[in-house]
Structure 1
Amino acid sequence: MPFLPSTRLMLFMLGSIGLITLPHAWHIPPVLFSFFTLLLLWRLLSIWQPRYLPNRFGVFLLMLLGIGLLYSQQHSVFGRDAGTSLFVVALGLKLLEIHGRRDVYVIVYLAFIVAVTQFLYEESILMALYILLVCGVLLATLITQNSHTPQTLAALKTSAAIILQSLPLALVLFVLFPRLEAPHWSWLDDDIHAKSGLSNTLEPGSIAELSLSPELVFRVKFDGELPPPAQRYWRGPIYASTDGVSWRAPPVLGRENNPDQPTFSDPSYAYTLMMEPQKQNWVFALEMPTEFGGGLRRNGLYQLITNKNPGDRAEYQISSSPSYNSGGISKTERKENLQLPGKPSDRVVELVKQLQGKQARPELFIGNLLQHFRQENFHYTLSPEAMPDKPIETFLFERRAGFCGHYATAFVYLLRVAEIPARVVGGYQGGQINEVGGFLEIRQADAHAWAEAWLEGRGWVRFDPTAAIAPERIERGVNVDLQIASGAVNFSPVQLDAKTLSWLQRGRQLWQSVDYNWQRWVINYDTVNQKAFLQSLGIDNFVKLGYWLVISVAGIGGVVAWRLLRPNRRRQDPALRLYRQFCAKFAKAGLSIEIGDGPQTVAERAKKLRPDLAEAIERITALYIRLRYQADSEAGDLQVLKKLVARFRV
């Protein structure tokens, strides 16, 4: 006989598949997801109208259409997006050809693979819980498929029980089983996803655009006290060469060794920095990094570079000291950081002369320049007027309103005119403290630009002209939410303690703390972290690890088997339980029920005792026999029996 899946089974399966593929609506091309959705709805309609199902030739034509759409959108079957699209389209096509139980199993197993591909896009704890939920529904589909009397609630309960029983074993395998680092199949991955952030070029307004982005860049947890706000500068790219409009990072090839190694003095701060996926291989360390773990190197511009894939989330152990002396400067560096795009205008030369540039010590000129920014009605704004023609001069003498990039580039330009080597530094400043988790969150809205000047005997020294105009930007940091909502500069209020925070802020920080620990201890549990954890338990070789695995797996398996197989823990049949309640009511009325009496014998004796209840007795007995001993019972029979027993009175 042809295999005809039940309506309940099909609804279960199609519902779970719809839930599993739903998040991919944001991951794969809309054309391909629409094609899959059409196939899913087609199969759903065919549950009640089987004649609408396509024949083999129709399925073949749909397959060719799917291949054509896949190729037109992805141009390949390799890579994250292309591979995921291939599985989703194949799943949709397979739904249209169910000829036996094997096809149901193939569809369910393929759906499990599609569920796993969600973690290629998002690894948050919410996504993990969502996938666990929909996989539970998918598992209930298999239970329904193999049940003689399928019931929705019972299948879901059984699925949940199986998942709960498997979690301890999954936890042991996650912690103890050797981690297999996936190779970087860069030649297979043609998926390029742009990420916002700093780049090798600093252009007018580029940092102002980032100031309206809440995107998380990295999180930092200090081992001890946090550095004061005025020292929370997270160093990024250096911008040295300019054409008068944009500034670019200098080449670092062949400049890995500095003329002098920097020297440091107390205080020193040790911290764990977790970088979010980025498009550059930069790690934004607290200025200036002194010690850093494997996978990091410090280039000739004192910037930390990672050899890990920047598209992956990564964690680093770093120590930094804000008090440092970088030492001398080479002829190449001096020339590079005195470069000007052309001869400065008379107004610029006059301003430098007025502020005693070239005439006094560099420190005096720098102090005069910062005082000039404070006293000459300069303003700090996120939306300055456009300055397409000679932006530095226009900013200095006409507009006098700009963002940190305007102040930093103008400051460096004037120092170079005064023959003081200077450069622009990009990075992030500040960060929001998570009072619940005790860590800093740095977002794109914290992007900042400042300046460095080389001074004799001191090396490269940081100067932040923004602090001269808006000191609250440095001392209090950015209020990301208000700044994004208003599109204008907004600073955080004076730091609040946990008691002062609103319940909404505490709830959000609590969730961010949970997410931080999930990313740190679960997602980033790689080979290095596993090795360190196992060594803390005394497991330092594969023999000991094997003993731990065998003992743990056997112990958990034994406990689960004992709980499942011991007789006194086996669940009583619900129909038998209801029938015993029925017999107990008659026993109180004086009916004698002996061991070995069948339901028909009990029914005959009960009717003789209460002829007026004969109809109810026969109906309850018939329903019980049907549920207990016959294969043609229906899903609603148990509920009917429950109502009859509850209403029955002797």
Structure 2
Amino acid sequence: MDVLTNRTLFVFLLTAVGLIALPHSSHLPGPLVIFFFVMLIWRFIGIWYPRRLPGKILLYGLTFTGLALLYQQHLGWLGRDPGTSLFMTALSLKLMEVKRQRDIYLIAYLAFIVAASQFLYEQSMFMAVYIVFVCSVLLAAMVMINSRQANIKASLKKAMTILMQALPLTLIIFVFFPRVEAPRWLLFEDPNRAMTGLKDSMEPGSISDLGLSDELAFRVKFTGNIPPVASLYWRGPVFSYTDGKRWSQGRHQETGMKPSVPEFSGDVYRYTLLMEPQDKPWVYALDMPTGFSDELFQNADYQMLTRKAPDKRSEYQLTSSLYYNTGLLQEDEWVRNTQIPGAVSPKIRHLITALQSGTQLTEQLVGNIMRHFREEGFSYTLIPPLMETNPIETFLFETRTGFCSHYAAAFVYLMRAAKVPARVVTGYQGGTLNEVGGFLEIRQADAHAWAEVWIKGRGWVRFDPTAAVAPERIDQTSYFQQQFGDELAHLVPRRNLQGSFEWLKTTRELWRSLDYSWQRWVINYHSANQLKFLASLGISGLNKMIYWLIAGIVVFTAVLSGYLLRQRQKQKPKDKALQLYARFCKKMTARGLVIRAGEGPQDFAGRINLVFPELAGPVDRITGLFIRYRYGKAPTKEDLSLLKAAISELRIKKGCSAKAKSRFNF
């Protein structure tokens, strides 16, 4: 088979290249993706119309165009996106220049690199399965080239066999090979890469941008019972400073102040939290954390932060208690959490006076504000109206409709206007239970804002004003159906599928459970987790790790080699012509003539004819039939039958031509 002219091979190879490049179309610049697939389609056309392929001058022009697009789209050469685009462009240009078999090898090698680069963008189990599949197709193309047979089915089978044979060795290396973390300065960071999630400031309505996002924020697996859904508040940034519209953390977070240690009571919940990559070092612990791993620490507002790189998926061990008392409030905390920009407007002052009427305890004032939200025509919506000026007053007296951030901001402002310390807390509320894997999925749609009020004798106490207006916020499905109808309810991650759709829910949860295990045990298998896992097996220290690695490789190589040798012996084809010729040689051995090592059939026949001239005719016939069947261009079964008959009919009398044999000293 001429690999350079075989259409089946080229169609197979180009299909594999197209499948490998396809996932990159979602994150690389559009002009570069279009350039690549135009070149790929052009090469497909060239399979049937070789004259349509570009000549040398046009190829130079295409190369210049590709390089210009690279520079124009990325304004540089280093980094994840520029590097991937460079390999994609080089691959597309190389497709147009295939003159030798080694060019096909180069295309395959570039395609393997492009396939591996996909893991720089997505590391899900689905993507891993997809990349293994397309690499199997590419490997099958390589098998087809080397075997010089255009048999797609046999090549795919051979490629899968090679991959299965390599799998055990891959597992051994994955488990035992020392994992070295690259220093951050060595990594090419992409400052323009966008990540969704909560921000370090809040304006009324800002969290509503995440309300329809199904993107995963983090996953939690509890050891033991899971707290009630209404208690699942995952603490994030705390905002104490406001300019009347925007809420932020304030300068006290920059001083490195440590929080006072709360007093905890009630049950303690232990859980493993798997954070998705983000652009902030925030870890959303269940409010309030009582213990956490060494790589975590708390700021002055009890928010958890990590010392790890936040743009990587990370796992943390934490414990939390739902009942706590944060204790006394320092003077600077009092000032910070009663701060209001400017003077309180007459409308708000009049409202506060009415709400404080007859109250002596802070809890009573909180109850009155909650009752005001519930009974005075306030409503909950994901599409609040714009409030450019005086957003608090506009919300309280005009629009009376908003998202959780509107209610939290207005509630805190009213408490501060009444000289009660209060602050806004953002994070996530609730979560979707995966019944198959037994873990919670918290998505961006679960982003939430609530309030904390300092109460004497109790410390900081959480209040959720949104619950006063929309208690169904806990059941997102019913709320979405009320707001948008069934046509948009499918966007809610906590949808409760019933009846005939139960199998779909189970299948979805099974897949997400597998992906959760994949992320924890494969993607998150970094150096620290490796040391913990090997220590549980009694393997501690770098030396033992290397010994086990070498031993595993040696044992696997020995077992695989023995298996392959045994299979080769079993699968060794039986040559019937050789078997028949061996019978012929055995007959001659019985009469004193043994074929010599390296002696060909014709030389052996000549020696036989000298000793037994009377057998010259039958021996020449046997030799001719054997050579024609085994080495001829068109052997037939009839030749094999004639050879078998000629050998069976050969008869050698005992003692014949003994004189001749003695004379020639055979």
Normalising by the smaller structure, the TM-score range is: 0.7 to 0.9
**Bigger shift: residues 477-486 or 43-52:** 477-486
**1:587 aligned residue:** none
Report the aligned-residue RMSD: 3.3
Give the direction of change, closer, same or farther, for the CA distance of 1:374–1:33 in structure 2 (3 Å limit): closer
The separation in 2 between residues aligned to 1:488 and 1:497, in whole angstroms, is 15
| Matched letter for residue 182 of structure 2 | A
Kindly, what percent of the aligned residue pairs are identical? Answer: 49
Whether contact under 8 Å (2:327, 2:458) holds in the other structure is: yes
Instruction: Report the Cα offset of residue 395 of structure 1.
Output: 2.3
Name the counterpart of 1:562. Answer: 562
Aligned to 2:350: 350
Partner residue in 2 for 1:108: 108
Q: Is the 8 A contact 1:445 1:478 kept in 2?
A: no
**Counterpart for residue 180 of structure 2:** 180
What is the TM-score of this pair, normalised by structure 2? Answer: 0.82
Write the distance in 1 (CA, Å) between the matches of 2:406 and 2:634.
Answer: 81
Partner of residue 426, structure 1: 426
SS in 1 for 2:160: helix
The farther-off stretch of 13-22 and 254-263 is: 254-263
1:43, CA displacement in angstroms? 2.2
Tell me which residue corresponds to 2:122: 122
Which residue is 2:140 aligned to?
140
SS of residue paired to 1:266? strand
Give deviations 1:438-491, integer Å, cap 9, x for gaps: 1111111111111011122222111111222223334x4566985787598999
Measure, in 1, the Cα distance between the counterparts of 2:634 and 2:55.
32
| The 10-residue stretch of structure 1 (45-54 or 153-162) with the greater mean CA deviation from structure 2 | 45-54
Check the 8 A contact 2:25/2:33 in 1, yes or no: yes
Cα 1:430/1:186, change in 2 over 3 Å: farther
**120-129 or 101-110, larger mean C-alpha shift:** 101-110
TM-score for both structures, normalised by structure 1: 0.84
The alpha-carbon distance between structure 1 residues 410 and 491, as it changes in their structure 2 partners (threshold 3 A), is: farther
After alignment, is 107-116 or 36-45 more displaced?
Answer: 36-45
Alignment partner of 1:222: what SS? Answer: strand
| Residues 214, 491 of structure 2: 8 Å contact kept | no
Alignment of structure 1 residues 52-91 onto 2, 5 Å? 52-91=52-91
Contact 1:480 1:490 in 2 (8 A): no
Q: Does 1:309 align with 2:309?
A: yes
Q: Aligned partner of 1:207: which letter?
A: I
Q: Which moved more, 1:139-148 or 1:86-95?
A: 139-148
* 1:104–1:185 distance in 2 versus 1, CA, 3 Å: farther
Deviations 1:237-276 (A, max 9, x none): 1122222222222234444334632222231111001111
- 1-structure distance, mates of 2:26, 2:180: 29
SS in 1 for 2:267: coil
Secondary structure of the residue that 1:321 maps to in structure 2?
strand
1:520 is displaced (CA, Å) by: 0.8
Cα distance in 2 for partners of 1:401, 1:500 equals 37
CA–CA distance in 1 between the matches of 2:125 and 2:288? 34
Aligned mates of 1:352, 1:167 — CA distance in 2: 70
The answer as to 2:26 corresponding to 1:18 is: no
Cα displacement (A) at 1:6: 2.7
Cα distance change on mapping 1:596 and 1:40 into 2, 3 Å: farther
Provide closer, same or farther for how the CA distance between residues 493 and 566 of structure 1 changes in structure 2, counting only shifts above 3 A: closer
Moved more, 360-369 or 150-159: 360-369
Q: Distance in 2 between matches of 1:266 and 1:304?
A: 21
User: 2: CA distance between counterparts of 1:456 and 1:182?
Assistant: 49
* Equivalent residue number for residue 327 of structure 2: 327
Q: Give the Cα–Cα distance (whole angstroms) in 2 for the partners of residues 3 and 500 of structure 1.
A: 52
**Helix, strand or coil: the match of 1:235?**
strand
The count of residues paired between Structure 1 and Structure 2 equals 591
Matched residue of 2:319: which SS? strand
Q: Is 2:419 the counterpart of 1:414?
A: no
CA contact (8 A) 1:217 1:443 kept: yes
Q: Using the TM superposition, give the Cα deviation of residue 499 of structure 1 relative to its aligned residue in structure 2, in angstroms.
A: 10
Structure 1 gaps, min length 5: 581-592, 598-624, 638-650
Is 1:507 the counterpart of 2:507? The answer is: yes
Post-superposition shift, 1:493? Answer: 13
The verdict on how the C-alpha distance between 1:498 and 1:314 changes in structure 2, with shifts beyond 3 A counting, is farther
Asked whether the equivalents of residues 39 and 93 of structure 2 are also in contact (C-alpha less than 8 Å), the reply is yes
Q: Is the 8 A contact 2:424 2:449 kept in 1?
A: yes
Cα offset, 1:128, TM superposition: 0.7
Residue 324 of structure 1 aligns with an amino acid whose one-letter code is Y
- The letter of the residue matching 1:83 is G
Residues 316/632 of structure 1: CA separation in 2 closer, same or farther (3 Å cut): farther
Q: Following TM superposition, by how much is the alpha carbon of 1:326 offset from its aligned partner in structure 2, in angstroms?
A: 1.6
Partner of 2:543: 543
Q: Report the Cα offset of residue 425 of structure 1.
A: 0.6
Q: Secondary structure at the match of 1:451?
A: strand
Q: CA shift at 1:504, angstroms?
A: 1.2
Maintained 8 Å contact 1:357/1:418:
no
Give 1:159-178 correspondences, 5 Å limit. Answer: 159-178=159-178
1:29 pairs with 2:42: no
- List alignment gaps of at least 5 residues for structure 2: 585-626, 637-666
CA 1:231–1:627: 2 relative to 1, 3 Å: farther
Helix, strand or coil: the match of 1:146?
helix
How far is the alpha carbon of 1:288 from its aligned partner? Answer: 1.0
Work out whether residues 20 and 134 of structure 1, in 8 Å CA contact, stay in contact via their aligned partners in 2.
Answer: yes
Cα distance, 1:535–1:67 mapped onto 2, change above 3 Å? same
CA separation of 1:101 and 1:631: change in aligned 2, threshold 3 A: farther
Distance 1:182 1:33, change over 3 A: same
2:489/2:495 contact within 8 Å kept? no
8 A contact 2:451–2:463 mirrored in 1: yes
- Residue of structure 2 equivalent to 1:96: 96
Instruction: Determine the structure 1 residue equivalent to 2:262.
Output: 262
Task: Note the C-alpha offset of 1:83.
Answer: 0.3
**Contact 1:563/1:569 (8 A) holds in 2:** no
Label 1:36 to 1:500 Cα distance change in 2 as closer, same or farther (>3 A): closer
